[in-house]
Structure 1
């Protein structure tokens, strides 16, 4: 376990300097990194607990990944939510009733901008400013070094009472290292570079990846490309966006509300999907090797339709690339001129020493509740979760928990000792109900209800500590 004591002393006789850099003392203020959906929520809830907040955002506007104007945004022109409105809104700021069940990404950006304006958050945000380093300082404080985005201008170091990391986890592409990749004469792009269907029109396209993004792009390629192959490594459960005329996540939530045991809910959903989707193997799709809820399903109503129309051809995993072709795991070859790698993203915390978060070889930080860093009670991460429903309610209660933890700790550290011990003991524990397939890639998946209950237990403990 890493603690502040594991690092070289940040001072040399004068705590106003660090490595020949002057330090500006910010008292009890909190630093928030990122002004996306998680960062905005953190700023708002920290302010409600009475903290001064400086939020640093490298882009020029709020919204993070949902702001299509940002270079790092992964959204493409046709992106819609895959969770319906009740699970895609902050509890204290509902989405408009007039909006569709599954809003377009431009609507969600407008929602985040309204959220920032409604709670007067912009005046706490330093736009066009990136965080270069975050380093432990004496007294569980943090030295945060910033500069203008793009690397221009002088660096500035300020000392904060706490840091909340909300830099998102959908901006650093995860790229497979295929044999022969450098020799392939066609074009290879990651899904992060995909913007709209004009990139696919008239081309022979191989889409690699069976997640929601891969399925969306395969559907668009089925409509626009001359030919489309869709490569997946395993079988998935393909859930339509509507069941019985209702958003499918609301149907699932209805089963949860009836407190049905997990095995019974799985049986009900299995039967429903067999009735609605049918036997996937007759379409050439591999059968899932796991039960529903053992990994998050793919929410897509059109992929099977386009496979049935013959405009999308499912194929196995990629084995290697040759000069003009791609060899698949079954030995067959296809000849795309465009390969789209919908292979996900890797969370990155470039401004932190990996030891601070206990990051392992697979890039997984060791956190309690995907939030608290053992050994560093004033450092937390918000938004590093992925649920079968929307994440906005989760990040809201995450940030409420962080704000109340910091307030309780500053008011009476002794009263929060029990929770501090729980943070140390619970770091790295998964918060899902079953074994998640491919844990190296899906380690931050959580079960919505299980995780919310854990957050509520922590909030209850903080309320007791505050009395």
Structure 2
């Protein structure tokens, strides 16, 4: 991995004072059963989630000579990227907005790295900072124990052959890095159980190769829905895309610059509403009136809508041309499923061979974190919006919940590492 390093880069040494310690003989009581069980005390921060956000925090801590422990329920880092994304995926934003702290992308990477390149970058990132991760570790419940002043994490570890080992971790600082996309959202729609063809979420979609010559309904028109529809086209399938709501579609680049980068530059001098008006004017000139294609725009501008709701505008990578040509057909919301197809809200009925749900993801924090002040039970996000949603009470932190992608996660990773460093020094004193 030497080619990933800057010429003067130096590997951060592991501090000798931090190693997991098994304290089975004197461990605390189990949170629910009251029975003693295997307990692992870790004196540094524990990070739940080995995605890009969790790795960023671990690297920032390492730069301050603080060793963390990363717990991951899957068997690899960045499991969403490695196991639940389609083959043609690329970063939607230029690489300079997606690199993690302390290690830029290689200069020879393209502006929009592929899925495989991004995964290789993350593997090199783990190696560069010697990040410790324990895989197949699922947090069943995490709760702050005020009596001892530590967080207690009740775990279920996969041990093969369907067996699980239950134990606890105890730590002073807990970083929640499971992110915005922990669980696939599969909406309930009338008649789904009657449909005889396959219905899969995009997390299970890899390529349109197995859908050749088939009529495929893609439910959802976000970036994933648009790209999956385009991929189906490229593999000679016949995609139909359900547009249930209004959507902003913007060119990926404007005036020779990335739309995102141009927006951030303009925001230094102009108000958000003014930048939104500029973006929509240029989009209209470059893309035409999308409403004529069944793609109505929201009342709020793309940046304002993103700021208020987290809804990301779609960056066009070629899908719109296929919609204009009729290769991708737009349909309204689904009324109900039938044995061989779908009835739409406009009264039209059509037959389909398969359905792909591009219906997004959600946070799973409320399922396991026993805490109600910092995280919302409703959506699993910090109650305070960016930039104030990274720190809770009692040594609890959040990263990857900014609705601002990897750039927002990197900013929060630095804040978390700096705060833990201060608290660690105070603890030593």
Q: Same fold (TM over 0.5)?
A: yes
Q: Is the 8 A contact 1:34 1:64 kept in 2?
A: no
Match of 2:400 in 1: 383
Q: Residue in 2 aligned with 1:186?
A: 197
1:356 CA drift (Å): 6.5
2:137 pairs with 1:129: yes
Question: Is the deviation greater in 402-411 or in 322-331?
Answer: 402-411
Gaps of at least 5 residues in structure 1 are: 1-13, 414-467
Deviation at 1:226, TM superposition (A): 4.2
The verdict on how the C-alpha distance between 1:235 and 1:153 changes in structure 2, with shifts beyond 3 A counting, is: closer
Secondary structure in 1 matching 2:267: helix
Q: Is the 8 Å Cα contact of residues 133 and 146 (structure 1) preserved in structure 2?
A: yes
CA distance in 2, matches of 1:186, 1:404: 52
Counterparts of 1:356-371 in structure 2 under 5 Å? 357-367=374-384, 369-371=388-390
Q: Cα distance, 1:332 vs. partner?
A: 1.3
Distance 1:273 1:162, change over 3 A: same
Q: What is the deviation of 1:306? A: 0.1
CA contact (8 A) 1:74 1:170 kept: no
Alpha-carbon distance, 1:118 to partner: 1.2
Q: Which aligned runs of 4 or more in structure 1 are off by greater than 6 angstroms?
A: none
Q: TM-score, normalised by structure 1?
A: 0.77
Aligned counterparts of 2:36 and 2:138: Cα–Cα separation in 1: 17
Question: Cα deviations across residues 132-171 of structure 1 (Å, max 9, x unaligned)?
Answer: 3322222431112334336624322232111111123324
Q: How far off is 1:340 after superposition?
A: 0.8
- The 5 A counterparts of 1:322-333 are 322-333=338-349
Tell me which of 179, 182, 192 is aligned to 1:168: 179
Q: Secondary structure at the match of 1:82?
A: coil
**Partner residue in 2 for 1:145:** 154
Q: Any idea what SS the aligned residue of 1:35 has?
A: coil
Alpha-carbon offset, residue 48 of structure 1: 3.1
**TM-fit CA distance, 1:182:** 1.0
Aligned equivalent of 1:450 = none
Work out the CA distance in 1 between the residues paired with 2:137 and 2:277. 50
Q: CA deviation at 1:250?
A: 2.1
SS at match of 2:143: strand
Query: Are 1:63 and 1:113, in contact at CA under 8 Å, matched by a contact in 2?
Result: no
For residues 338-388 of structure 1, the C-alpha deviation after alignment (integer angstroms, 9 at most, x for no partner) is 111100112103332364755334555535633233xx321122112222x
Match of 1:393 in 2: 407
Q: How many residues align?
A: 388
Of 391, 399, 421, the residue aligned with 1:407 is 421
CA distance in 1, matches of 2:302, 2:378: 29
Question: Tell me, what secondary structure is at the counterpart of 2:321?
Answer: helix
* CA offsets 1:245-298 (integer angstroms, 9 cap, x no match): 3322222223124x1122221221111001100111233333433323123310
Which residue matches 2:29? 17
Distance 1:15 1:112, change over 3 A: closer
Counting only pairs closer than 5 Å after superposition, residues 8-157 of structure 1 correspond to structure 2 as: 16-18=28-30, 19-22=34-37, 24=39, 26=41, 28-66=43-81, 68=82, 73-121=83-131, 124-137=132-145, 138-149=147-158, 152-157=163-168
CA distance in 2, matches of 1:198, 1:279: 32
Change (3 A) 1:27 1:312: closer
Contact 1:59–1:149 (CA<8 Å) still a contact in 2? no
What is the aligned counterpart of 1:338 among 351, 354, 363? 354
Is contact 1:234–1:289 with CA below 8 Å preserved after alignment?
no
Alignment gaps of 5+ in structure 2 = 1-25, 307-311
Scaled by the length of structure 2, the TM-score of the pair is 0.83
8 Å CA contact 2:197, 2:354 repeated in 1: yes
CA distance in 1 between counterparts of 2:188 and 2:382 reads 23
Q: Contact between 1:42 and 1:400, CA under 8 Å: does it hold in 2?
A: yes
Task: Give the match's secondary structure for 1:44.
Answer: helix
* Separation in 1, partners of 2:230, 2:133: 38
For residues 164 and 357 of structure 2, what CA distance do their matches in structure 1 show? 35
